Amino acid sequence: MSQPDNATPILEVRDLKVHFPVRRGSLFSAKTEFVRAVDGVSFDVKPGETFGLVGESGCGKSTTARAIMNLVKPTDGTIHLSGKRIDNLSADGMRIHRRDLQMIFQDPYASLNPRMTVGTIIGEPLSIFGLKTGIDRKLEVMRLMDVVGLNPRFVNRYPHEFSGGQRQRIGIARALAARPKVIVCDEPISALDVSIQAQVINLLMDLQQKLGVAYVFIAHDLSVVRHISHRIGVMYLGRIVELSESQELFRHPMHPYTQALLSAIPVPDPEIERKRKRIVLQGEVPSPDKFYPGCPFADRCPIVQPETCTASPPPLEGKPHPAACFFAGEANLEEPVEPTIEG
């Protein structure tokens, strides 16, 4: 997958933090602590690019997505869309930017209003942003249905009359209706059957090639992220621990956590599978409500040096690509991982 030529980012996220207060203790001695769901995330997205955000459940991926959309307010940091800051805007102030920034939700069953027809759901952004009215609106809805692979004759049907994959296509058509510059895809295939996942991924890639839209693609499946993304950020406990171009990340993973994730991906070749080195992480997954003065991965890291790793947090830097580890690359896999996605 070729890298977009335009070097000017359309979406810029800088030191994003989202901390949720939690009160603990008795009524009269309660103290407020914080769940650090997102704790200093920074990345850029260029026009026509797909930036993949990957990590295990609870690492802060979806909270990052909602903060970008201004559905939750950041505790700190900044978000710029087309050079304009949007993280500090009110609901009314954000409204004028909604057309350029749309979202595809994880659950196609919960994200569609069951009382609205497909035509009304897809056509709602056209009405809100004043793009089409009357017969032009109906024709545009039918065109969008055709673009995402839905039969336009089903325009008056309700969401419950469609399969999961078809419902997600409805969600994609709704996001496209506003003609956005960026679409945040929050695990858009995780609720779908495996046989349908590749179809939806290929649809998103085709739409990007035709329309030039940029994606922030969030998932926990590394094979899928590699297939669709130009660049990938690996998240752990609210932070990006490795940032790289897609192919480079899979060929030369630098952070021990990334290496452990890649070592767990099965390869459909018995000979290669038998020879591969497995990295088994020990210890418990750390809690986001606990403050870690050093590296949050230290308790599970196979190459940890306590004197160094627990004293201060490692910066996201280094070559050939940034990794937040003082000893990046020292636990490299014996064999490069080449996972694939069919479709």
Write the pLDDT tens digit of every residue in 310-343.
999 999 998 889 999 999 876 554 444 444 444 4
Alpha-carbon distance of 161 to 166, in angstroms, equals 9
Average pLDDT over residues 78-83: 95
Q: How far is CA 235 from CA 55, 84, 128, 130, 135, in A?
A: 5, 26, 35, 38, 46
pLDDT at 321: 93
Average pLDDT on 225-238 reads 93
Task: Determine whether domain 11-253 maps to CATH 3.30.930.10.
Answer: no
Provide the pLDDT for residue 186: 93
Out of 88-92, 129-133, 143-147, give the one with best mean pLDDT: 143-147
Query: Which element (helix H / strand E) includes 92?
Result: helix 91-95
pLDDT beyond 80 at 23: no
Say if strands 31-45 and 76-81 run parallel, antiparallel, or are unpaired.
Answer: unpaired
Choice between 184 and 330, residue whose per-residue pLDDT is larger: 184
Distance, in Å, from the CA atom of 165 to the CA atom of 79, rounded to the nearest integer, reads 32
Instruction: Name the one residue in this structure whose structure tokens are 């030191």.
Output: 15
Using CA atoms, how far apart are residues 15 and 75, in angstroms rounded to an integer? Answer: 10
pLDDT at 34 over 90: no
Percent of the chain with pLDDT over 90: 59
Q: How confident is the model at residue 9 (pLDDT cuts 50, 70, 90)?
A: very high
Q: Is residue 24 over pLDDT 80?
A: no
Region of 297 on the Ramachandran plot (φ > 0 left; ψ -120 to 50 alpha; else beta): alpha
CA angle 272, 275, 277 (to 5 degrees): 115
Contact by Cβ (8 Å): 40, 20: no
> What separation in angstroms does the CA of 125 have from each of 60, 141, 253?
28, 10, 41
- Give whole-number Cα distances, 74 to 18, 79, 245, 299, in Å: 5, 9, 27, 28
Q: What is the pLDDT of residues 235-282, one digit of tens each?
A: 999 999 999 999 999 989 999 999 888 887 777 767 766 666 777 777
The predicted pLDDT at position 140 comes to 95
Report how far residue 94's alpha carbon sits from residue 84's, in angstroms, rounded to the nearest whole number. Answer: 11
Give the pLDDT score at 341. 42
CA distance 220 to 294: 25
What is the average pLDDT score of the chain?
A: 87
Query: What does the domain layout of the chain look like in residue ranges?
Result: 11-253
Q: What is the pLDDT of residue 337?
A: 44
| Residues 281, 302: Cα–Cα separation, whole Å | 7
Give tens-digit pLDDT for 156-176.
999 999 999 999 999 999 999
Determine the pLDDT at residue 91: 85
Q: How many CB atoms within 10 Å of residue 5?
A: 8
Interior/surface letters 264-300, b for 16+ CB within 10 angstroms, e for the rest? eeebeeeeeeeebeebebeeeeeebeeebebbbbbbb
Alpha carbon 179 to its chain centroid, in Å, reads: 20
**What confidence score (pLDDT) does residue 62 get?**
93
User: Residue 282, SS3?
Assistant: coil
- Could you give the residue ranges of the DSSP H alpha helices within 132-255? 134-147, 164-177, 194-211, 222-228, 246-251
